[in-house]
Structures are given as structure tokens and as C-alpha cells.
A and B are shown apart, each in its own frame.
Chain A
Amino acid sequence: MPAVGDPRHLRWCNSGEPESLDPALATTTTSLKLVYALFDGLTTHDKNGLPQPSLATSWDISDDLRRFTFHLRDDARWSNGRAIDAYDVAFQVLRVLHPSFASPNGDGIEPVKNALAFVGGRMRVMQRDVGPLRAGTIVEVATVGGTPVAELPADRPIPSSNKRPARAPLALRDLGAPASAAYAHVDVGGTVEILELTGRPSSPPSPDGQAWAYVHLNRGDGLYGWVLADELGPPPAATLGVRAVEPKRVPGLDLPSPPPAVVEAPVIEIDAGDALSLLESVGVRVPDAHTFVLETSDPTPFLISLTPGRTLRPTPREAVSRAPRRWIVPGQTVTSGPMTLVAWKERDYVELARSPSYWNQAVAKLERLTAFSMNDQSASANYYFAGGCDAVTGNNIPSSYFPMINGERTGTAYRDYTPAPYLGIYFAYVNTKKVDNVHLRRALAHAIDRTVLPKILHGGQIPTAQFSPGTPIAKLSDEDLALCGVSRDTPGVAMIMQTGVLCYVPPPGLDYDPAKAKAELALARTELGGTLPSMTYRYNTGVEGHKLIAEYLQDAWKRELGLDVGLESQEWKTFVADTRAGNYELARFGSIGNFPDTEAEFLINFRCASPDNRAQWCDPAFEQAMEDAKPLRDRAARLAKIREAEGIMLQAAPVIPLYIYTQHHLQRPYVRDLYINLPDQVPLYEAYLDPAWQAGGADR
């Protein structure tokens, strides 16, 4: 076990093995907390877990909330010395969206114009005039051989416009490098796929006046590199039906309302090679090396909240190109953040060290960070108690330990223990297709006394009947109370969305009320003619708490309403697939937000078209309120609409909110600035150990 002692070395028990440290491939907080220490972004997380300027020193937002222009600093460097520029940011977007990289993180910039169609290989940019389509027009593939794209069978992909045979031997290399510096070769006749061309609106300019192409070679894990464009042969023969993409119009902003029916442009047959699939068909522009522009199809007030995310954390093209799946190698990885990667022992630990090349040397107070990959909560807590780590990441303490450390048993909480609200909600979905009577659903919601739940779970969970999570109003600071416009005795929670600027107070939900529950049940019986649907509550195995809650709910429904609800547990993946298929009546679920914005992160699951609309609930009034909110530039007005939408949803009870998650932390008293915030987005590198305290010696 490492000795306690070095004040610049934080030993931190992480919640398991990072699945990747590549921002294009990492998805879980286990990985991302480390990724964010290694790679800088347009913005980074401040101590509240909210965005603050980093690579981008400032940004302009257009009046219609659809164009975001970021101004990049010019003193940021990769750890190999190269300047970080706006082309690097665009390259990261390309990595996340281009099918050849198969990144799971495309949803990180879903609001960006045409991003999803690009992921699906449907976007093209005309390379020459064909009929009414001028060169440069952005088009979407509509048909292939007369069949609409949506109806194409799975084994018939959309023909590529970008595949090219090599006319001359290709030497894959960095942009502008001599052929002798190539790291891979393609023989004449071999096929590559064009991803970028120099001089285009979202790609770097040519360094020498020649046209260069950035190509993908489908070999092994894939290889990428620049080649001279004139070494590439003609495109494959195929035809596509394409249609020009009309700029999306926003009711109330661009047009007098009501908006006219959308008229789609006519489909025009072109040769596949008349167009190319390029990033410029997406709302990404790089006007110069220090300016990066994102355009969204809808007004997107929360776009800045996406910017500290993994999608906009650039990765070094020179390293990625050579080994797209394996470029993260301890000691060699080119990084851009406050720390570099020095060691990674799989399923044991990851070790980071301060990066001397980071532009903001003041921010990283640590020389070294060891993150132990503890995928077992008991082991993690035990290791902490035995002195193995200085802090345990959020939520890596087993619930069976709570009574021992939260003061329930001893009267005083364990000194190192801090619980805090978490940006997540635990709830029961009601499948509205099977339980289609709204009174029955309301009866179920009113019958549950949520205040019992923390007593069952011991984790300080915050009982709620509202859907949007947040901090209990009673615990807000005075400034936040003023910001939210509520008094301290207001029940419920509030979500601080932007420190000192924006606060969301969700509407009240259907809280515990036995009389109302019985009245609603009586209404349901009348409407249904006495026969209620039989109901089973599902939960996934492996977590004791799910079972305890299921048993409590079953008991409450029996006691308050006389309803017999069955219980059924399922293995996780089966549970996920079954509930998505609508194959259930009642099911536990949880929803955790990446950033505090209920419109983008929580209510989205109740939109009719959402793939995660497990409640199968689709209400025109709710849809209308969500749509009405979109064009509103005034964020307070917009939030009022969102609040209206949440109210509609809660009254229809497609979901029974139960409690707001809490996060549980163990930190030694000498650990400083290892922040605990609502979204649990923590700039680890800002932490340090207080040497003055440690001189005191023993710490247990």
C-alpha cells in the first residue's frame, strides 16, 4: 500500500476501470473525470460543475440561439508542442460523428445541424452543378435506386460518395509532410475513403498550395492520413437521389406564425461522385485557426452546457491517425489538459502527472494523481479505511456501510463522510399503453409516502414527487434563493443551471395523499367499469435497494389502495430491452443528467419520438409546450414554458418520481478543493493535499 505523505500526490479511489481515456470513446464518469484532466476543451468544469472558458476565451451567441462563435486562445499547446487550433476542435467533432470511427458519443452534439444525418452517412455537399443543385449546396440522401433511405434493408448501405481507388502509390502522412515521412502506404488500386479536403470550410488550409485529402484506410483498427488529392482516382459508379436541405425555420422568429407547412425540396438523381460527404454539411465551421463555429437546427440555449463535454475535447490528429483505437499509451500520449498520462495498469490504477505544457499552470496544484480502479464498492471503502487512498469518488461506498458512517448508529456522522444531492432521479415508469387510465396512474402516485424511502435505503436520499432533480430549497444559499425566487420554506428542490444567472424550480407533483389516491382510484374504477388492469412492477437484479423499494411500493399500493401488484426482477440487459419494448406495466428506472438542464436532460425522455420514451406516453399538450419553449430567447420565459410542460407531464403520471439520488463521498480532512457538486463533474486536477494539516499526523 502506498505510504501517506506526499502532499502533491492525491491517491483517489475511482469507481472502476475506465473503458477508455479517449474523449471520442469514453462514456462513463469513471473514465470522463480522468479524460477531462488529460484533454482541454472549449470550456472546462468549474467548481460547481458548470462550464467556464478554457480553450475558448469567449463566445458570441446569435440572437436566434442557433449560431455559436467561439474565440480560441492562441497560447494553448499540445504536449508535443504543437499549437491547439480550431481545426483540432473540428477534427474531434469529425471523430465523434464519422461512421468509420464508430464513436458512441454522437449524442453529445445532437443539436448541431445535420449531425445525426451525418452519423447515418446521409449528408453530402455538391461538388459540381447538377440541375438546380449548385456546387456547394448541402444535400441529404433521400433515395437509393428509388427506395427511400428509411426503407433500405439493413444489408444495403447507402452508396459511398467518398471511396476512391489509389491512382498512384499513396503515402499516408501528416499534413504537408514529405512522402518519406509516411507511416502507411496503399498500393495502386487500393481503396481509401475521403474524410476531409484542405481548404474547405471546416478543414485546415493547404500548407503548400496543393490539394490534400485526409483519408481512411480500412485495415485492422483503421488508419488515417493525408495524401495528395490528385493521387486519388475516380469515384465509384452509383446513383443517389438527393434533396437540398432547407434551413430549418423557427416559428415566431423567422416567420409570421402560424408557420406554413414545410415544403420539401424535390429529389434529384445524381452520380454518387457528384457530391462528397464532408463535415461542412454539418453545422461546423472554422473561419480561421482561432475561431470555431457551431450551428444548431433549433434554438439551443443549453449549447454552452454541452461544451465541456467529451465531444468538444479535441484529440491530436497526428496520434489518432496512426492508431485510432490505441493511441492512448502511457508516457507517449499527446495530451492537452492540466495533466498527462504516465501509467495505466489495467483494472488496477491510472496515474496522471502535471503537464508542463498546459497553458494555465496555476490551475493544477497536484504533481501526481493515482486513480485506483475500484469496481467493488466495499473494496473501495475498505481501501480508504485502511489508508490506501485519500478520497473515494462519488457513489463508491456500499449502502450497507451508510448506517455506520452517517451517524444513524453512533449519533455523529463519520468525519470524512459527506453526502450531497446528485443530478439524478429515481422513479417508476408507468407504461401508459398498458395502464392507460390516468386516474389509476395518479392513484398509484398519490399512494406513495416518499419520506419512507431514505429510511429504507439509509443514504440520505431526497424524497420527491417532482421529476427534475436539484438541491432541496431549504438548503440553498441566500443568493440562490433570491435567484430562484422562492422562500426557504418552499417545499421541493431547485436546479441551479448557471451560477448566479439561471435557476429552475420544478412544479409540484402528485405527492403522498391517501384521500386523493382513493378518490382517483374510485374514478378509475368508474371509468374502467370496475376491472383494473393487472400490474407487475419490474426491477433489475443486482442492487439490493431496488428490491427493497419494490417491496415497499407493493406494500403501499396494497395498504392504501387495496391493489395487488406483482413483483418481478430481471437481469439488467434483459430489463433494459424489455422495458424499451414496452413489455411491462410498472418498472423502476433512474435518470442521471450530464448537466443541469431539465429540457435537454430529463424531460426529453417524454417526447413522443424519444427512443427512451419507456412510458410510451405521447401528449400533444406536452409536445406543444416543449416546442413553444424552443424559440424563446429569454431564458426565464423559456423555463416558464418548460415548467408548464413538466406540470402537464406530472399530472398525467407516466412516471412516479420517488427520490433524488445522493452522492456519497469520503475525503480525508487534509484534502482540499476536491469539489462536490450537483452534476458530480469534478476538476480533479484542482485538488491538493494541505501539508499543514498532514503534519498533524494520524487521520483516523
Chain B
Amino acid sequence: MLRLILSRLGSSVLVIFAVATIAFFLMRCAPGGPFDEERSLLPEVQRNIEERYHLNDPLISQYADYIGGLAKLDFGQSLKRPQTVNELIAGHYGYSLTLGLMAIAIALSLGLTMGVAAAARRNTWVDHSLMSFALLGVSIPSIVLAPLGIAAFALHLGWLPPARAEGLSSYLLPAFTMGLIYTGTIARLTRAGMLEVLGQDFVRTARAKGLSERAVVWRHAVRLGVVPVATYLGPAMASMIAGSFVIEQIFQIPGLGFYFVSSVSDRDYPVLTGMLVFYVVILVALNLVSDLAHGALDPRVREQR
């Protein structure tokens, strides 16, 4: 176990280094710079600004500075905002995390329930309607779902605010919108996993012991049935809690998602590379957790290691 964690950490450092390097050079290849706008800056002014951010240094020395900063967990200074990238993350990550955790809670509770129920009543109307709903959740993009939700619950009914993060109630609409996308996938994975498990010998044994169907499903089968979900959850959770640009933008939640896009269109190099590295860290960490969870849920995996 410890060896697994250590070797994963080692390879993570390599991955992060590679991501930072690729992002750094790719961004510099993109045409235009952070200070190009409709109305050009005076050349003298532009030089002074670039000087301040060391953008006139040779690229290789900028890269060395950047990697040196990364080693000290310093992502550098935003070119467009007064804050450093670390300050941006510290100041805005809370919103994304809150939104992401709520979305995960919604996706998991709905998705697992739906998946298990559909598997338990396989090929009945329950199964069909739940799975159709799941398909809808997967296929309707949030740029459609979110405005519909706003029109209905904020503008028409007036139950929830249409925008801004002000108290937990303002997270409900965005969290549902985000959660529903994952609910569908989780429900379908759960159903498939459950169906596979329900046909196995140990389930037959459990039934033969005379256990009620409910006990068979919830006490014995679910644990193995959700293994595919555990595997899927790593990357899914990472993208939920790393900040979603679309959802945060539509609902004006001042989370991190905004910077994933604005940093590209602004050519704010340090912010973009900072965001990517931050996302990779979350992704790698959650994948590790999901692998560990996989082991904890499925004794066969544990024994192989």
C-alpha cells in the first residue's frame, strides 16, 4: 500500500513537470500576447509593462524562473490581475469546492439509488424510465439545462436566486445542473455493475441462505456493484471540484473555473499554467484515492497486490 502511494507520488511529480513544461511552451506559441488589444498600447508603454513581468527575458530563462517557482509552490504573478496565482487559487477555490462537493453529493445519491433500483427491477418500467432519465442527464449539456433551470426556478417561481454565490441556497441550482450530468453516468455504471454482480455465485449463495432480496442487494451486491463507479469517480470528481467554467459563468459563482478560460483568452501565462498544474494535482490525487477505494471495495483487487 505504502509502496503504491509512494510510486504514484513519484510519477505524479513527473506528470506535473511535463504538464507545466508543455503548457508553458504551447502558450508561448499562441499568436498574440497578454497586452494586445483592439487599441494598441504605445510601444514604449508595452515595453515597460513587459519588462515588469520579465516577458522580454530569453524564453529559456523565463522557463527556468517558472520551474524554479513551481518547485517552491509559487505559481507566479498574474499578468492581468494584481494578485499572484496562489492568491487567486486561495481566494476562489472555496467556491468551486463547495459547488463541486454539493454536485458530487447530488450525483452520487441520485445516481447510485437510480442504478441500484434499475438493476434490481431489471427490464421493468422502473428500469426503463430511470435509464431514460439517465440518458437525458448525460445528453443535455449544461448550457441548455442551466438556463432552463434559471427560467423555471429563479425567474418564474422565484424560489432560488438566478446568479451569484450568496448563501447555500444559491448553490442549489448550479449544483443540480452540474450533478445531473454525472448522475446519468453513475446510474448507468451502477446498473451495469450491479447486473454483473447479481448474476454471480456468491449472490446465488446469499439468496440460497434465505436472505431477503433487499438484504442481498444492499448488503452483498452493492459493494461490488459500485466498483466501476469508484473507478469513474476519480476523474469525475476531479472535474467537478476543480471548477466548471460553464456552470460558474452562467450562475456567476466566482470560483476557479473562470480562470481556466480567461487565462487562455487573456494569454495570462502564469495563471493558465497554474490552473493546469492545480488541476493535475487534484486529478492525480483523486485517481489515487479512487484506486485505493477500488481496493477497499473489492477484496480480489486487494489480494492481487
Which residues of B230-262 are within 8 A (CB) of A?
249-252, 254, 258
Contact B92 A376 (CB under 8 A): no
A528-536, A574-582, A646-654 - interface stretch: A574-582
Chain A positions within 8 Å of B92 at CB level:
346-347
Q: Cβ of A589 < 8 Å from any Cβ of B?
A: yes
Which residues of B244-286 are within 8 A (CB) of A?
249-252, 254, 258, 265, 267
In-complex Cβ contact of A573 among B31, B39, B43, B249 (8 A): B31
Chain A positions within 8 Å of B91 at CB level:
346
Q: Cβ of B37 < 8 Å from any Cβ of A?
A: yes
In-complex Cβ contact of B36 among A107, A346, A374, A577 (8 A): A577
- Give the residue name and chain of the B residue nearest to A601 (CB): B39
Shortest beta-carbon distance, A407 to chain B, in Å?
Answer: 20
Tally of contact residues, B, Cβ under 8 A: 46
A 319-361 to B, binary, CB cutoff 8 A, 1 in contact else 0: 0000001101000000000000000011110000000000000
Shortest beta-carbon distance, B144 to chain A, in Å?
Answer: 13
Contact B52 A102 (CB under 8 A): yes
Number of CB contacts from chain A to chain B under 8 A: 128
Contact A325 B82 (CB under 8 A): yes
- Give the residue name and chain of the B residue nearest to A613 (CB): B40
A376, B254: Cα distance in complex, Å: 12
Shortest beta-carbon distance, A604 to chain B, in Å?
Answer: 10
- Give the residue name and chain of the B residue nearest to A383 (CB): B163
Contact B44 A120 (CB under 8 A): yes
B 29-44 to A, binary, CB cutoff 8 A, 1 in contact else 0: 0111101111111111
| Most chain A CB within a 10 A radius of its CB, from B43, B47, B250 | B47
Shortest beta-carbon distance, B23 to chain A, in Å?
Answer: 16
Chain A positions within 8 Å of B76 at CB level:
none
Shortest beta-carbon distance, B4 to chain A, in Å?
Answer: 39
Q: Cβ of A698 < 8 Å from any Cβ of B?
A: no
A388, B165: Cα distance in complex, Å: 12
In-complex Cβ contact of B42 among A119, A372, A376 (8 A): A119
Q: Given A104-B35, A573-B30 in contact, is the A379-B163 Cβ separation under 8 Å?
A: yes
Chain A positions within 8 Å of B161 at CB level:
1, 383, 386, 388
Contact B252 A379 (CB under 8 A): yes
A70, B40: Cα distance in complex, Å: 30
Chain A positions within 8 Å of B155 at CB level:
382, 385-386
Contact B32 A573 (CB under 8 A): yes
Q: Cβ of B166 < 8 Å from any Cβ of A?
A: yes
Contact A386 B154 (CB under 8 A): yes
Shortest beta-carbon distance, A616 to chain B, in Å?
Answer: 14
Q: Cβ of A178 < 8 Å from any Cβ of B?
A: no
In-complex Cβ contact of A374 among B154, B252, B258 (8 A): B252
Shortest beta-carbon distance, B136 to chain A, in Å?
Answer: 23
Q: Cβ of A20 < 8 Å from any Cβ of B?
A: yes
Contact B265 A99 (CB under 8 A): no
Contact A102 B51 (CB under 8 A): yes
Contact A346 B45 (CB under 8 A): no
Q: Cβ of A489 < 8 Å from any Cβ of B?
A: no
Shortest beta-carbon distance, A26 to chain B, in Å?
Answer: 11
A565, B224: Cα distance in complex, Å: 61
Q: Cβ of A106 < 8 Å from any Cβ of B?
A: yes
A 378-393 to B, binary, CB cutoff 8 A, 1 in contact else 0: 1110110110100000
Contact B56 A154 (CB under 8 A): yes
- Give the residue name and chain of the A residue nearest to B53 (CB): A102
Chain A positions within 8 Å of B81 at CB level:
19
A 98-135 to B, binary, CB cutoff 8 A, 1 in contact else 0: 01001110110010000011011000000000000000
- Give the residue name and chain of the B residue nearest to A28 (CB): B37
List the interface of chain B (C-beta within 8 A of A).
Answer: 30-33, 35-45, 47-49, 51-52, 56, 80-83, 91-92, 147, 150, 154-155, 158, 161-166, 249-252, 254, 258, 265, 267
The 8 closest A-B pairs by CB, nearest first: A573-B32, A347-B254, A102-B52, A120-B44, A577-B32, A382-B162, A379-B163, A119-B44
Give me 16 other A-B pairs in contact (C-beta within 8 A), A1-B166, A573-B32 excluded.
Answer: A102-B48, A104-B35, A106-B42, A345-B254, A348-B165, A375-B258, A379-B250, A380-B163, A383-B164, A383-B252, A386-B154, A386-B158, A386-B161, A574-B30, A577-B32, A612-B40
* A-B CB contact pairs (8 Å), 6 listed: A107-B41, A375-B249, A375-B258, A379-B249, A573-B32, A573-B265
List the interface of chain A (C-beta within 8 A of B).
Answer: 1, 19-20, 25, 99, 102-104, 106-107, 110, 116-117, 119-120, 154-155, 325-326, 328, 345-348, 372-376, 378-380, 382-383, 385-386, 388, 571-574, 576-578, 580, 589-591, 611-612
